[in-house]
Amino acid sequence: MPRIRLSALKARFYARRTRLALATSVALAGLSAGLLATAPTAQAAPPTPPSTSTALYMLDVLTVDSEDSLSGYDRDLFPHWISQGDNCNTREVVLQRDGYNVTTDSECRATGGRWYSQYDGVTLYDSSDLDIDHVVPLAEAWRSGAHSWSYSKRRSFANNLSAAQLIAVSASSNRSKGDRDPSEWLPRSSYQCLYARSWVWVKYNYYMKIDPAEKSALRSVLNGC
């Protein structure tokens, strides 16, 4: 075969291979884009608390004592919701973090999305139906030692995004809970393990004490996890 014809065949072969590779790349990119477009936004949720065994260790380390008086308590002593940057406050950050496909306006307020309330297993579509719950309630913290904290420490506690202390839940479940501890109130059974681990983690991080009934309830939940 003449050299010039062989060169032409090679050229056509490499050109065809290049076109095939490009077409495959474009197809894969289109497929990826399609998957990304249809997949729901992942839910970040609160930070994952320590394991059950670690939570049991933390529980045993906590000081057990009767609760302090609620005298002098005021929610304003735990300032919230504070600015978290980008025109968002703590509540708005948690709503975005705990929701699916959350949209916001120029003021960072949630204008749409979907939220699953872990406390009662209810799905909500309006942010006004949600509360941001302090897993360890502010009044409970006050009775557990926060009455002696500095203003800045209480402010940090009330807006803590680094531990499992804040969670978006239905307003009805949050108000049902109130400021009660696990000896008096627990969420739906399938969420109790995570709730108990979160509660212990927060109390351990802030060196808060627990009362005997609270410890007994937490141990009972954790032993069943």
Q: pLDDT per residue over 66-88, tens digit each?
A: 999 999 999 999 999 999 999 99
Place of tokens 């990826």: 32
Which of 16 and 179 is assigned the larger pLDDT? 179
CA 37 to chain centre: 24
Which of 21 and 61 is assigned the larger pLDDT? 61
Element (H, E) at 58: helix 52-61
Element (H, E) at 224: none
Count, in order, helices (H) and strands (E) of the chain: 8, 5
Mean pLDDT, residues 37-59: 76
β-sheet bridge partners, residue 89: 83
What is the pLDDT, as a whole number, of residue 211? 97
pLDDT at 135 over 50: yes
Mean pLDDT, residues 134-147: 98
C-alpha torsion angle, residues 47, 150, 154, 62 (rounded to 10): 60
What is the band of 35 on the pLDDT scale with cuts at 50, 70, 90? Answer: very low
What is the pLDDT, as a whole number, of residue 42? 42
What is the band of 15 on the pLDDT scale with cuts at 50, 70, 90? Answer: very low
DSSP type of residue 84 = -
What is the pLDDT, as a whole number, of residue 45? 80
pLDDT at 119 over 60: yes
Mean pLDDT, residues 202-209: 97
What three-state secondary structure class fits 69? coil
Mean pLDDT, residues 48-54: 97
What is the band of 30 on the pLDDT scale with cuts at 50, 70, 90? Answer: very low
Mean pLDDT, residues 131-152: 98
What is the pLDDT, as a whole number, of residue 44? 61
pLDDT at 31 over 60: no
What is the band of 22 on the pLDDT scale with cuts at 50, 70, 90? Answer: very low
Contact 51, 194 (CB under 8 A): no
What is the band of 16 on the pLDDT scale with cuts at 50, 70, 90? Answer: very low
What is the band of 13 on the pLDDT scale with cuts at 50, 70, 90? Answer: very low
CA neighbours within 13 Å on the CB side: how many for 104? 17
